Amino acid sequence: MQKLFDEVNSLDKRCYEKFLLSEDLLMEHAASSMALYISENHSSYKSILIICGSGNNGADGITLARLLHTKFDVKLYLFSDAKSEMAKLQLQRAHALGVNVVDELSNADVIVDCIFGTGLNKPLNQNCENLINTLNSYESIKIACDIPSGINSLGQVESVALEADVTITMGALKTSLFTDVAKDYVGKIVVADLGIQRNLYELDSNKYLLDESDMNLPFRNKKNSHKGSFGHLNVVAGCKKGAGIIAAKAAFGFGAGLVSVVCHENLDLPYHIMQTHFISENCTAIAIGMGLGKYETQEIRRLLNKDVAKIIDADLFYDELICEVLNQEVVLTPHPKEFVSLLKLCAIADIDVSELQNNRFLYVQMFSKKYPKVVLLLKGANVIISQNEKLFVNSFGSAVLSKGGSGDVLSGLVGSLLAQGYKALDAAITASLAHAIASRNYKKNNYSLIPSHLVEEIRKL
């Protein structure tokens, strides 16, 4: 996993003070990293348009123009006059070298956005919106310096933002690059070298970006085992019984030795999935909430008070009953609407889904601070997993998963790992990664996924 930072100004300042690396030197290395990326990945193109703002993001772009001068047909467009000392200095250097500074926008093979970076702290004016809309209309390779212009330091987009193919971010990964809103704009994310190894540049963080290598699949390494060695998951089926059945199938395919669906009505289940009317005596984990609908409160309360690992989803996030288990190490897997309801039930915030989506990290942290034992998995374009003060982002998800039943598969995966003895946080991380990576491995049209396809891809991991 890789560290995420809400801001990196403090990291830059530390480089100046502790490592005696000047602002000028860091900027030269930042621009060199961008130049190297462009040279290695886009050498077949001829023309490059670099659009610069007035601050240090613009200064990065001016430096880049100087480094690429004569190697490409470089056009440097200054959207606003240089104001920062570094921007003024880099512009003097570019003029001395004869870099082509143009007064009008024109298309190019590659466009580099160096307008705002992380410095955007107010709404865009009409001129900025017009500029970004024009750049988006060009059929060019678009590269953003640090963060696409139009995205602010919280990862929010108030009106428009550059639709980048690649974002080259300076020194370390920023949290703002991994909001759900930002996902349609950032493209591929590359970290630029600032002349110091990344492990020295970065300090401690409580936020992390998950890598595929963080997925710890439940491989069976012991030869002397039996089905009971791998746990017994009970999936509670409710009014919409299909949700529970989907979760049960996913759980069985993800390594649980035994899976039983708990339902008072007789179900038509695959032969390898058992049915029980009550929680099994040898149950090692419970999955509850998927398709639960209306239910008898006392019966559900008894299930929730059972001293085994639990994954809770869906309908229970609308009932005050959920508050009775938040002092336990349970896994909660709400989607945004469900999380909004949960926040209100817990007296943390009374907000709508739009407010949540604009501030996902904030509200996840608020919830985890109040309930440090709970593992929260907030679904979305980028999944956020949190426990206590630590927060993890899974960015592997895709629109393939935007189908009914996908969340039930995820519940089954988490439940399966809990039944097999995984700790709650580890189960949530591995299940979420398997769920998302399997969706990326799906090769058919991205609108055609059904839950059984997803389960099959997970079995191939």
Known binding positions for (6S)-NADPHX: 56-60, 117-123, 146, 243, 291, 335, 408
Which residues lie across from 155 on neighbouring strands?
none
Binding residues: 56-60, 113, 117-123, 146, 149, 243, 291, 335, 407-408
Beta strands 258-262 and 331-332, pairing class: unpaired
- Sequence ranges of the binding site for K(+): 57, 113, 149
> CA 144 to CA 454: how far, in whole Å?
34
DSSP bridge pairs for 259: 233
Cα distances (Å, whole numbers) of residue 212 to 82, 397, 437: 42, 12, 8
Tokens 């491995």 locate to 441
- Cβ burial of 58 (10 Å; 0-12, 13-18, 19+) is buried
The torsion angles phi and psi of 203, rounded to 5 degrees, stand at: -110, -170
Find all residues with CB under 8 Å of 277, minimum gap 6, and list them. 262, 263, 264
Three-class SS state of 216: coil
* DSSP codes of every residue in 412-442: HHHHHHHHTT--HHHHHHHHHHHHHHHHHH-
Sequence-separated (6 or more) residues with CB below 8 Å from residue 94: 62, 63, 65, 66, 69, 76, 101
Tokens of 58: 């613009």
Return left, alpha or beta for 231; rule: phi > 0 is left, psi -120 to 50 is alpha, else beta. left
CA atoms within 13 A on the CB side of 123: 4
- The span from the CA of 427 to the CA of 404, in Å, is 22
Burial of 59 (0-12, 13-18, 19+ CB in 10 A): buried
Give me the DSSP letters along 71-84: TBEEEEEESS---S
Which residues does the annotation place in the binding site for AMP? Answer: 407
- Residue 417 half-sphere exposure toward CB, CA atoms < 13 A: 27
